[in-house]
Amino acid sequence: MIKKLFAFLLPISFVGLLQAQTKIYNEEQINTFFTELKQASASTFKLWNKDLYGPTLLVDPVTRKIYANEPDLEGGLQHSTNIYVGILPQEVNFSNTALGWNGKRWAMIMLPLPENRDDRINLLAHESFHRIQPELGFKLNNANNNHLDEKDGRISLRLEFEALKKALAAPDKKEVKKHLSSALFFRKYRYAKFEKAAANENLLELNEGIAEFTGIIVSGRDDDSTKSYLTKAMDRSLHNRTFVRSFAYQTIPSYGYLLFKQDKNWNKKINAKTDLTSYFMKGFAISVPSTTEKDFKRLALEYSGQVIFDEENARDSENKRIVKEHKIKFVESPHFEIFFEAMNYSFDPRTIIPVENFGTYYPTTRITDVWGILTVEKGALISPDWKKVSLSLPTSIDNNLVKGEGWVLELKGNYTIGVDQQKNKYLKK
């Protein structure tokens, strides 16, 4: 039976991958990276009472060559001196993540790795946490936090960052608590303005936030270096297109590190249902009795509020223009839609753009499914229910290879492309 991918004459956003970088490593260097992680994991075993070190894949995104610290169970990797090597199959997306492959659950990290040793271990430990995350009882969640792409959401988060930076730099416990109180005030203010913000932020913070906190501790930086790293990470995040999927890398590591200085076991007392905001408020003995607009505006001025207000007002106007363009292209105009059956994808969480209630725009992405491989380099729109991806109309169809502006679809099996003239759009049957 021939299955057809039919095209709706409507546009979609194109999701693309980061520009591939390449650096040649010899096997001795690769083995050194594994050894660094193994030693750091052993020295911080008490963090989770579990060794983070386990099956790990380092992947060259250009050649798809795999370097592993142990064999797989299906013969996909070959032993070479102290490591194992192979080629990542085309149907497997590469990204910094955890995945099941050839009989084992792996931590996967894309090459090149950071030059700095502490940063390198930080990254490897972060992804290693994701590998053991299910064993620790934490579900893998990526909740929708589109409110953090809205002006008021961004303003309150940036003010929270400013307060956290001052807490990290504070000379004594009294000052630390003062700025943490401000940070949590800005957070509670945001939750009061956006109905589902508290629950959705918490889900992502339990996922990416706890993973990054783990990386911070396992890296072994000293106190000054840790505070500097966290502060610079918040500053760097301002260069990202959005906070929607990346904010948790800054918030929980900062709160978590400051609480870790008081209680080395705090992270072992939480679970997948813990409300982290309430947990930190209790841990730091902080209460936020009210979050009035008057108090917000007054407190904001102590944390570069006027600069943030001005910058976000300017961004908001430009962002509305961009969202409107994507809406026209991928919703209101003719476009190509593909429905998901067993979708897996990779993308850059720093670049995505929520498009009202129509979904999320991905500048770049790589999607694999039973129908083949879709590589996007100039934008695509994924629906909010995760059922379909929308693209610009195809410009060429050559057997199993379909191309559009900035995207390529490699079909497999009995899938083909067809036009539904009656509905004036593409469908998949």
Question: Using CB atoms within 10 A of its CB, is residue 140 exposed (0-12), middle (13-18) or buried (19+)?
Answer: middle
User: What gap in Å lies between CA 6 and CA 337, rounded to an integer?
Assistant: 8
- pLDDT > 90 fraction of the chain, expressed in percent and rounded: 87
Average pLDDT, the chain: 91
Report the pLDDT value the prediction gives residue 5, as an integer from 0 to 100.
Answer: 46
Q: Higher model confidence: residue 416 or residue 323?
A: 323
428, pLDDT greater than 90: no
Report the pLDDT value the prediction gives residue 421, as an integer from 0 to 100.
Answer: 56
Report the pLDDT value the prediction gives residue 18, as an integer from 0 to 100.
Answer: 39
238, pLDDT greater than 60: yes
- Residue 140's alpha-carbon distances to 145, 365, 394, 404, 408, in angstroms, are 15, 20, 35, 33, 29
418, pLDDT greater than 90: no
Contact 10, 393 (CB under 8 A): no
Report the pLDDT value the prediction gives residue 404, as an integer from 0 to 100.
Answer: 95
22, pLDDT greater than 70: no
34, pLDDT greater than 80: yes
142, pLDDT greater than 80: no
User: What gap in Å lies between CA 291 and CA 289, rounded to an integer?
Assistant: 7
166, pLDDT greater than 60: yes
What mean pLDDT do residues 371-378 have?
Answer: 96
Q: What's the pTM?
A: 0.89
What mean pLDDT do residues 359-371 have?
Answer: 95
What mean pLDDT do residues 183-190 have?
Answer: 98
390, pLDDT greater than 50: yes
Contacts by 247-250, CB closer than 8 A, 24 or more apart? 247/145, 247/148, 247/157, 247/201, 247/204, 248/201, 248/204, 248/205, 248/207, 248/208, 248/209, 248/212, 249/208, 249/209, 249/212, 250/161, 250/164
Q: DSSP letter string over 218-263? A: HHT--HHHHHHHHHHHHHHHTTSS-STTTTHHHHHHHHHHHHHTT-
Report the chain's terminal Cα–Cα distance, integer Å: 11
Six token digits for residue 123 = 């990254």
What does the pLDDT look like over 189-218, one tens digit per residue? 999 999 999 999 999 999 999 999 999 999
Rounded to 5 degrees, what angle do the CA atoms 290, 294, 300 make?
95
User: What gap in Å lies between CA 116 and CA 133, rounded to an integer?
Assistant: 26
Report the pLDDT value the prediction gives residue 28, as an integer from 0 to 100.
Answer: 96
What mean pLDDT do residues 89-109 have?
Answer: 95
372, pLDDT greater than 80: yes
Sign of CA dihedral 170, 124, 345, 16: positive
Instruction: Give the position of tokens 């991806």.
Output: 389
Q: Higher model confidence: residue 300 or residue 417?
A: 300
